[in-house]
Structure 1
């Protein structure tokens, strides 16, 4: 077959490569809920991602906070692609060392690629060669619950002299599955999809914000409901001021344009016949067969683009979906599609100013070294003026299972200790994590993911708000179950259930923090529209603003909790809380705030 000759050449060169002393680089306990099916085929191709240290990342982080802090004189002075690439570039010695190492194993420059900043390499190699390079053994692993299959190892080593020059190599120890955050999904009879009062027959006044909301919004959430609830009725945007919004799509979730038109006819007639730009990443498709429409993709695109029309929208469709069956005819393991997206978008000169992602996984399934590296990539986007929103998860304080009765809140470090399980990428301090609410008046929805990171320390912008919350907790409550010094989740919230979308031609009611993230991103995009139209730069990394002058632009949610791990979870309370964050947006107030900084 095609790879046979190359494999033999690779192995022969590798056997002749200089012998070096390997030193353990990373090891993990045998991952919970995974079983070994057998050894990985030696000729199976994997794409090694080799990350080099970024010695000046602290300078990038410093500049990110300067341009994102409304009290700083540099606020809004976002960096260019060249400027951020310079700040994350590796030491030339590291670049030379890794290049030499690859050459020693028969991998010339023509057979690998480097990132624009030269801080990472990607090389497709047979498993047999990867095992020699990393002094390890790859196996085929299967998840015992849903059947996902990956090629991984639980430890790997590098030549000792390379340790200062290589931060991490993947795929090795990552067993994350990166699922969509969606808790509820059911078809409704299109003739009777809305059991609430007919629109226009009753009104609810929200006591927190004082806004008037149609009573039908209590059971069926539409674009109009969100604009009423979040004080954005009558807001119009520009199609030509340079503002854009982006939605990420993964796991063969296809955004159907015919469904979008039906949605527009139902909720946004002025947007009829408009669409979005589809961008393929790593060969991703957007199959327009109506039966292949994805609930996640349709939810994200219909509400994000519906809220912001006529702002141009981008939908990235990134290839890679489990289950994956490794054999010599399948060239690459694509169970980490979101890193493919990050590589792709970091290489673009022009990026939408607001991007929403409704996918994630338990933080503990992602090796800390890998999580930190990915989080650093999000920091780069923030420094370039991009706001990233991520759904906070649908398991309350528990793992990604939205059913508290079946959650497993045990650590996967071999100790099997019960802990609250934060989600990633929501736990990255350089993104905006979005929790969920329900009904009018708003209360916390019980599945709203919230808690504290075990990897990332609490960032300075959260210090006052989160300390105040912790001080109000009963002494000793949940002691040992969470890290009180960790980055706190979520930052904000929005409605997260009973969203009316169209899927495969039918009206559907759907929910999850996968609904709240594109909703909040939509309102951020409206704020960016106002700033750009006023000649101001986009908001970029928004958290420092939200936790300072932005606090007054939120509706504080004080009712509800997020159970999980056999506990009631945290309570929504006055001020920031680990269920709804700062609360839900009041667009009118936020617009005044962001135009004045």
Structure 2
């Protein structure tokens, strides 16, 4: 079990982050140090003493699992858990997968501890378990068919002409490559200094392996101007390993690594691999990775994640969701840009969900301290059908996006999908990038792949390139992106075509300005540079 203790000064941390991320504030981009974040986040001595005394009275010795001490972990017999929480734990089985899990329908804690404890897990969170515990939210496709490890050996190379230079832009509607993205978004192609301080972290879950030979082939074919031995750093957590057998290459891991190493022009890329020995229970390592990066003096300045907990936002209880969001807030306060792919089910969040006639499903995470990346398709761009987008049922609209969302809601009116979504919820995605027909190497073959999980590493690489320019001029990195994004819509290509069907509907339409298909739009590198004063 895990317990999240209340921060000593959560409001102070939030205020400090608000100032540091507000482009109009004198403290803009004055990010906090690790010690600063620990100061705000460390629970009060009264909270620590009271909760530990309660645990001791139940013969429990809890270990600290976060540097600031706001997360505790312990192992407890089910009978003790029932007694101390006035709960009734049972074994529940997920019908579709047969996965069993231990949960209770309700629980309580002593009244004098309620101000100190923000969340306890596992208790009432019933996300839709499957064998892997986490899923890639990309919905990888080879021209629409599923691609996974079992079918990697049968993947055949695409027959479409492959653009390997900007001169071949006319073929980009058939095969999207780094050359297409450089042309479309106006990206630089020159190598950054080997002493550059910019950096990217690429999350990996579910046993996904990134293959070095595939990366070398990808660079030789699609970035021949980069040294073919350009690689990444492995960082293993929770017993992870990164097999280099070609047959073990993972579509998700290869995609993420090839489009960060291959787009970031020699910027340092770290493959942050989460194994099966997770310390955060059965949430697949999503809390572990944040707590581990928070403990580092210099975590990667950009973190991109193309995986999600199984199911939609409602799969995790509100207390646990808010506690995990606070962990994201701590990392963004350090000047780290956290990007998540939104998913590939349109307004249904995930592909294949049966929700016809029911309210739309919000993706996970919708935490406002993450930048959520949707997908575009085609040249010129339109919103990709698969792009998950909509409105959170847990989080309200942050101040920085209220004007943009109200403008969209005025355009579509109150009758469209009335009652099927939360008009006051945090809207997503925030931004978008290409998410269909991207070319990667998988087990030695070129395949075409799609999903918002392609969009997130692409956008992350662009942020890393901008960070390199900022840092080389002695300026702080971009850090928490969202307030800046909504303050500078002119820095993005506004996408006004397409929609994201799901739940038996045609989904939300992409319109002028922000929309829940493409966010404020796709990146325009030169306009982003100008908005940053570069």
Same fold (TM over 0.5): yes
Equivalent position of 1:418 in the other structure = 358
Q: State the 1:398 CA deviation.
A: 1.1
Cα separation, partners in 2 of 1:194 and 1:556, compared to 1, 3 Å = farther
Q: State the 1:371 CA deviation.
A: 0.9
Residue 595 of structure 1 aligns to a residue whose secondary structure is coil
Q: State the 1:55 CA deviation.
A: 4.5
Q: Does 1:462 align with 2:412?
A: no
Equivalent position of 2:300 in the other structure = 352
Q: Does 1:230 align with 2:193?
A: no
Larger radius of gyration: 1
TM-score, normalization by structure 1: 0.83
Cα separation, partners in 2 of 1:382 and 1:332, compared to 1, 3 Å = closer
The one-character-per-residue Cα deviations of 1:530-561 (angstroms, maximum 9, x if unpaired) are: 1011110100001111111x211111110100
Task: Map 1:565-576; keep pairs closer than 5 Å.
Answer: 565-576=503-514
CA distance in 2, matches of 1:232, 1:249: 26
Residue 532 of structure 2 aligns to a residue whose secondary structure is helix
1:497–1:512 contact (8 Å) kept in structure 2 = yes
CA distance in 2, matches of 1:503, 1:126: 44
2:156–2:446 contact (8 Å) kept in structure 1 = no
Equivalent position of 1:592 in the other structure = 530
Task: Map 1:236-247; keep pairs closer than 5 Å.
Answer: 236-247=191-202
Report the number of matched residues. Answer: 517
Partner of residue 64 from structure 2, selected from 106, 113, 126: 113
CA distance in 1, matches of 2:10, 2:403: 26
2:163–2:176 contact (8 Å) kept in structure 1 = no
Task: Map 1:43-442; keep pairs closer than 5 Å.
Answer: 48-108=1-61, 112-176=63-127, 177=129, 178-186=134-142, 193-196=158-161, 214-269=169-224, 270-320=226-276, 334-360=282-308, 361-400=311-350, 402-403=351-352, 407-409=353-355, 418-425=358-365, 427-442=366-381
Q: State the 1:62 CA deviation.
A: 1.2
Cα separation, partners in 2 of 1:491 and 1:198, compared to 1, 3 Å = closer
Q: State the 1:125 CA deviation.
A: 2.7
Cα separation, partners in 2 of 1:175 and 1:390, compared to 1, 3 Å = same
Q: State the 1:396 CA deviation.
A: 0.6
- RMSD, matched Cα: 2.2
1:196–1:215 contact (8 Å) kept in structure 2 = no
CA distance in 2, matches of 1:319, 1:130: 27
The one-character-per-residue Cα deviations of 1:438-491 (angstroms, maximum 9, x if unpaired) are: 110111110101100011010011011111001111332111111111100010
CA distance in 1, matches of 2:163, 2:409: 43
CA distance in 1, matches of 2:374, 2:10: 29
CA distance in 1, matches of 2:429, 2:237: 29
Residue 524 of structure 1 aligns to a residue whose secondary structure is helix
CA distance in 1, matches of 2:280, 2:29: 40
Cα separation, partners in 2 of 1:191 and 1:103, compared to 1, 3 Å = closer
2:260–2:458 contact (8 Å) kept in structure 1 = yes
Q: State the 1:233 CA deviation.
A: 4.1
Residue 346 of structure 2 aligns to a residue whose secondary structure is coil
Q: State the 1:311 CA deviation.
A: 0.7
CA distance in 2, matches of 1:381, 1:268: 32
The one-character-per-residue Cα deviations of 1:506-541 (angstroms, maximum 9, x if unpaired) are: 111111001101111110111101101111010000
Partner of residue 455 from structure 2, selected from 516, 529, 533: 516
CA distance in 1, matches of 2:172, 2:19: 40
CA distance in 1, matches of 2:203, 2:292: 12
TM-score, normalization by structure 2: 0.92
Residue 456 of structure 1 aligns to a residue whose secondary structure is strand
Moved more, 224-233 or 533-542: 224-233
Q: State the 1:197 CA deviation.
A: 7.6
Partner of residue 501 from structure 2, selected from 563, 569, 573: 563
Q: Does 1:528 align with 2:467?
A: yes
The one-character-per-residue Cα deviations of 1:152-196 (angstroms, maximum 9, x if unpaired) are: 222222233322221111122222354211224237998861424
The one-character-per-residue Cα deviations of 1:399-446 (angstroms, maximum 9, x if unpaired) are: 31x24xxx2338xxxxxx821111111x11111110001110111110
2:388–2:500 contact (8 Å) kept in structure 1 = yes
2:387–2:500 contact (8 Å) kept in structure 1 = yes
2:190–2:265 contact (8 Å) kept in structure 1 = no
Residue 186 of structure 2 aligns to a residue whose secondary structure is coil
Cα separation, partners in 2 of 1:83 and 1:335, compared to 1, 3 Å = closer
CA distance in 1, matches of 2:58, 2:331: 34
CA distance in 2, matches of 1:198, 1:245: 26
CA distance in 2, matches of 1:297, 1:348: 23
Moved more, 237-246 or 158-167: 158-167
CA distance in 2, matches of 1:190, 1:250: 22
1:252–1:321 contact (8 Å) kept in structure 2 = no
2:344–2:387 contact (8 Å) kept in structure 1 = yes
Cα separation, partners in 2 of 1:224 and 1:507, compared to 1, 3 Å = same
Cα separation, partners in 2 of 1:332 and 1:590, compared to 1, 3 Å = closer
CA distance in 1, matches of 2:342, 2:437: 18
1:150–1:333 contact (8 Å) kept in structure 2 = no
